[in-house]
Amino acid sequence: MGARALSRKFHGKHKAFPDPGGKELSLERDAKKRRPVFRAIEARAFRRTKGAAVSPGPGNLVFLQRSIRYGRAASQEQGIETPLKTSISVPAPVGAPARPLLARIASRLLLAAGLGASALAPPWGAKALDLSDRGALWQVVHKLCLPMHATLGLPLPCLAVDDKRGFVVIRAPGDATRIIIVPTDRLEGIESPSLLREDAPNFWAYAWDERERVASAAPRPLGWDDIGMAINSRHARTQDQMHIHVDCLDARLKKALAGAKLSTQRWSTLDLRPWGRYRAKRLPETGLERSPFKIVAEEIPGARSSMGLQTIAVAGVTGAQGERGFALLEQGAGGSAEELLDHQCRAERG
């Protein structure tokens, strides 16, 4: 069966699911009929188009298939049963044409799945979300994750939305293990002055608490000293919304840190090949109770007035007696500490 025929089959099965401009819709209705259709769509479209470019449109089967698969994976990771067994109300914009609720949600999921894609228009023809510029990450958080969480009670396309502590968790597109911690407030990056306020949220501690999402997706077992976090400098980042990367630590860095004798009292300079020189110090297991932003600003000469040039990494380390702690690494030359992470999560590096 071709893609067009399968698309007609899908839409024919779902004529009972109109989107009457904001009226209440039940997703529980005919759930048993929908599941086989989803499976058929996923299996056929994946076999036919694996690795192909996606051009979103009302009849594009790959667009719908990948969106459904992305949303299902994120929901399962959150322990959310799909399809939803509830009645929900999703108001459409004034004058919006009627479209199946599933198609509207799928359209929005695809927007987040392609952070590097060109600008895509929402399904009702409103102003496009521009996902090709440096504001793309903020658009995903502000215009997708938060509205979906508020309207449906789901974090999609994010993995999680933490209202109380003010951040979301996103699976980085194209990476199996890497997650990104993003504040729900507008903060441009490491240079944002509010990060140094005494009452500022400790996003590094929040990010470390989410590390199990990396471990659960890794191709190998990960220990405390296999995971790291990083934030890039203003000049090295691609997005102007503050975010912390959490992923597997590069095996070469893990080995270098295991042989380094770092002090908890003073900074040392490490020549970390192939990345260059980093300042480093050891933090105890409770060391993330104080934000690394503040530690760097207070302890590195001149850092407070030039935070945009700083790049910071935090790596889990284990001492000779098995005691846990962290290595705090800093470089003030406008670099990218994300280079210390391995997005392929390899056990060995040459």
- Specify the amino acid at residue 312: I
Neighbours of 343 (CB within 10 A): 16
Give me 68's structure tokens.
Answer: 């459904």
Q: Taking Cα atoms as reference points, which of 137, 90, 87, 80 lies closest to residue 112?
A: 137
- Residue 32: the pLDDT is 41
d(CA 55, CA 150): 28
Neighbours of 205 (CB within 10 A): 16
Q: Token digits for 316?
A: 């889990």
> What pLDDT shows up at residue 69?
52
Per DSSP, the three-state class of 268 is strand
pLDDT reported for residue 174: 87
Q: Is the previous residue joined to 91 through a cis bond, with omega within 30 degrees of 0?
A: no
User: How many H-runs (helices) and E-runs (strands) does the chain carry?
Assistant: 10, 11
Note the helical H segments in the chain.
3-13, 31-49, 61-77, 101-113, 136-140, 146-152, 203-209, 212-217, 251-259, 292-299
pLDDT attached to residue 337: 98
DSSP 309: G
Largest separation between any pair of C-alpha atoms in the chain:
68
Per DSSP, what are the bridge partners of residue 168?
Answer: 161, 182
Say if residue 179 is exposed, middle or buried (CB neighbours under 10 Å; 0-12, 13-18, 19+): buried
CATH of domain 190-340: 3.30.428.30
Give the bridge partners for 316, in sequence order.
Answer: 326
Q: What is the mean pLDDT of each run of 10 residues along the chain (350 residues)?
A: 44 38 36 42 39 34 43 52 33 36 41 36 41 84 96 94 97 94 98 97 99 97 98 97 98 96 96 96 98 98 98 96 96 97 91
* pLDDT at res. 320: 87
pLDDT of amino acid 79 = 52
- Tell me the domain boundaries of the chain: 3-128, 190-340
Q: Which residue has the tokens 């958080």?
A: 141
- What distance in Å separates the CA atoms of residue 157 and residue 144, rounded to the nearest whole number? 7
